[in-house]
Structure 1
Amino acid sequence: MSTEKSFANGSAAPGPVPEGCIRLYSMRFCPFAHRTRLVLSAKGIKHDTININLKDKPDWFLEKNPLGLVPTLETTAGEVIYESPITCDYLDEVYPQNKLLPSSPYAKAQQKMMLEHFSKITPYFYKIPMGRRNGEDVSGLTAELKEKFAKLNEDLVNKKTKFFGGDSITMIDYMMWPWFDRLEMFELKHCLDSTPELKKWAERMSEDPAVKATTHSVDTYKAFTKTYINGKPDYDYGL
């Protein structure tokens, strides 16, 4: 079973996970769930997707994941895995095709450390637009974000590689991408103007088949965000 429309409280629970398949509980516009969708697509993993209404979650979903978060994975054996980096690492380990994490323990640790650093950047993507909407001066926050981007740019310059883990896309690129995919929606694309290597990285990423398969148009992102800001998120927008 695979659905686009979201399941809300009161909806019947989906049936068992089909044999030879893994199930993703997701939300179409969630950047964290986007990470897992990218990995599923990049690795060509057979899966079905159940979208969840995050404002009115079904009880049966909360029984599977008491935190009520997406992404959540469920196997045919009823095993449940959640938190985006954990779901992605799990998929890379269980499905050996198209490995995304490096085999070297040190290189793997480097990617995880970089992900920790990136987790300190993601709040800026929300704070700046929110501050702007509230009529606040966000120039200081914008300058800070540009500094963070400058460090990422420097990392690419020093490595002399096309992507953050080498000359092909690896896990860290997919872990970072959902927020860059939404740069135009956040009206932050200009923050890449003084980071040419990072800008080239974003352009290369946008050509990746998994990226193309899991994105929405800027207009769709903006329209959903408008419903979210108004307090009535339309998780089924555009369907």
Structure 2
Amino acid sequence: MSSQKSFAKGSTAPGPVAQGSVRLYSMRFCPFAQRTRLVLTAKGIKHDIVNINLKDKPDWFLEKNPLGLVPTLETPSGQVIYESLITCEYLDEVYANNKLLPADPYEKAQQKMMLEHFSKVTPYFYKIPMGRRNGDDVSALEGELKEKLSKSNQHLEKTKSNFFAGNSITMIDYMMWPWFERLELLELKHCMDGSPALQKWTECMLEDPTVKDTKHSLDTYKAFYKTYMEGKPNYDYGL
């Protein structure tokens, strides 16, 4: 994980990407950028990380990605790739070692369908905490999240495997993980009650060296999240 402080507006752009490497423009606490960091780490891809201040983005970064979003990849030839799922699939295609996506087209399609279902889950990780902050009754939203997580639990029970595509970690596990890593931070861990297979999956994921290498401690997450909710995110917290 990069310990480099974030680049903000007015900063000097970093030098060219080294040959034989790839650069990730990231933000240390972003779950979408964490997806790409997980893939880079799991596949042992040589890379450097440039952290971006997402509240005060450098002009040179906006020239590379007009959307101003992380994760963004850059190659030594100046090719730029962005959007978390696209960057991860790109890395898996370009770097043949430790393949994370299955070669079989149907199995690959199954992972993409699971991700499509999961894309309907992630909004709850934002809506529920924001509702609480506004003093809203979020019990109905929590019930909906619990129901959606139970569907993931049913998939694991049906396949009788530790991970979502068998007994080893693949792309789908890494693409879902960043939000589960934040369950305790967001006080949503109880939404996994009654989902023992899913709870076992989280325990297995926490033992993975790649997950260990890319995660923050709960205290660090809490401290950053406090600054984020106050509207003054400290992207460099802990450095």
Q: When the two structures are superposed, what TM-score results if normalisation uses the length of structure 1?
A: 0.98
What letter matches 1:79 in structure 2? Answer: Q
**CA deviation string 1:120-148 (max 9, x = no partner):** 10010111111111111101000000000
Query: 1:231 corresponds to which residue?
Result: 231
Query: 1:163 corresponds to which residue?
Result: 163
Distance in 1 (CA, whole Å) between partners of 2:139 and 2:187 is 13
Corresponding position: 1:195 with 2:195? yes
Q: Is the 8 A contact 1:25 1:71 kept in 2?
A: yes
Distance in 2 (CA, whole Å) between partners of 1:55 and 1:190 is 32
What letter matches 2:217 in structure 1? Answer: S
Regions of 4+ moved over 2 Å: none
- Indicate the SS of the match to 1:122: coil
Distance in 1 (CA, whole Å) between partners of 2:157 and 2:3 is 42
Query: 1:58 corresponds to which residue?
Result: 58
Percent identity of the aligned residues? 76
Distance in 1 (CA, whole Å) between partners of 2:216 and 2:167 is 26
Query: 1:35 corresponds to which residue?
Result: 35
Distance in 1 (CA, whole Å) between partners of 2:161 and 2:73 is 32
Q: Is the 8 A contact 1:131 1:137 kept in 2?
A: yes
- Indicate the SS of the match to 2:162: coil
Query: 1:211 corresponds to which residue?
Result: 211
Query: 1:150 corresponds to which residue?
Result: 150
Deviation of 1:193 (Å)? 1.8
- Specify every segment of 5 or more residues in structure 2 that has no aligned partner in the other structure, as ranges: none
Query: 1:82 corresponds to which residue?
Result: 82
- Indicate the SS of the match to 2:137: coil
Query: 1:94 corresponds to which residue?
Result: 94
Query: 2:73 corresponds to which residue?
Result: 73
- Indicate the SS of the match to 1:204: helix
Distance in 2 (CA, whole Å) between partners of 1:110 and 1:172 is 10
What letter matches 1:95 in structure 2? Answer: Y
Distance in 2 (CA, whole Å) between partners of 1:187 and 1:3 is 27
Aligned residues: 238
Q: Which moved more, 1:62-71 or 1:186-195?
A: 186-195
1:2-41 pair list within 5 angstroms: 4-41=4-41
What letter matches 1:11 in structure 2? Answer: S
What letter matches 2:11 in structure 1? Answer: S
Query: 2:185 corresponds to which residue?
Result: 185
Distance in 1 (CA, whole Å) between partners of 2:218 and 2:127 is 19
Distance in 1 (CA, whole Å) between partners of 2:57 and 2:220 is 23
Q: Is the 8 A contact 1:32 1:71 kept in 2?
A: yes
Q: Is the 8 A contact 1:149 1:192 kept in 2?
A: yes
What letter matches 2:132 in structure 1? Answer: R
Aligned-residue Cα RMSD (Å) equals 0.8
**CA deviation string 1:53-89 (max 9, x = no partner):** 0000000000000000000000001000000000000
Distance in 2 (CA, whole Å) between partners of 1:9 and 1:148 is 40
Distance in 2 (CA, whole Å) between partners of 1:55 and 1:99 is 35
Deviation of 1:3 (Å)? 5.6
- Indicate the SS of the match to 1:158: helix
- Indicate the SS of the match to 2:158: helix
- Indicate the SS of the match to 2:110: helix
Q: Is the 8 A contact 1:3 1:50 kept in 2?
A: no
Distance in 2 (CA, whole Å) between partners of 1:6 and 1:170 is 30
Corresponding position: 1:123 with 2:114? no
What letter matches 1:35 in structure 2? Answer: R
